[in-house]
A = this chain, B = another copy of it.
């Protein structure tokens, strides 16, 4: 969620090309899937030829992993920024929920949530990619856990709040709702989930 925020510094020529490849292929992978994206698609998206891609990444698999991590970092940045927008833990949870929900109407990346897409596609077929998806989801759960821990310490959230439960409820509802919103091409599916989650977060606040 936070690891790849600072991709910068030395910027050799090779490094810049590598960055460009990742940025251009990430949406292709996210839309077509990591098996459905053909080398031809990736070549078309990057402008480079196949040899160029293989020079930077040794295999389609490694490129897919890099592209996935990049996609996830986009999402992570969004969520981290949302959290930073306020000091109250409850408000932070709401902000994170809303930040993710924004993906239904203004996607940071075409094709939906890369974590869910990968969790579904790679399940049982691509252990390495699946592990990356798991790690990405874990970082998200930890973000929520951190908010709750600090919120309890600051007496903003009820001391009995179970951070595991909250993480599960929020992430499952949001991922499911994003799928529904895309399936019906209807943001209302996401809006209802957000309303529900905001109410739910309200029940966790201390000063109730």
Contacts and interface: CB of A to CB of B under 8 A. Distances in A.
A165 interface: yes
Contacts of A133: 183
Contact of A180 (B124, B168, B188): B168
Instruction: Specify which of A32, A116, A180, A200 lies most central, judged by the most chain B CB atoms within 10 Å of its CB.
Output: A180
A111 B134 contact: no
Interface string A164-183: 11001101111111011011
Interface stretch (A81-89, A91-99, A147-155, A189-197): A189-197
A185 B197 CA distance: 25
A125 B121 CA distance: 14
Interface of A: 31-33, 35-36, 111-112, 116-117, 119-121, 123-125, 130, 133-134, 137, 164-165, 168-169, 171-177, 179-180, 182-184, 188-189, 192-193, 195-196, 200
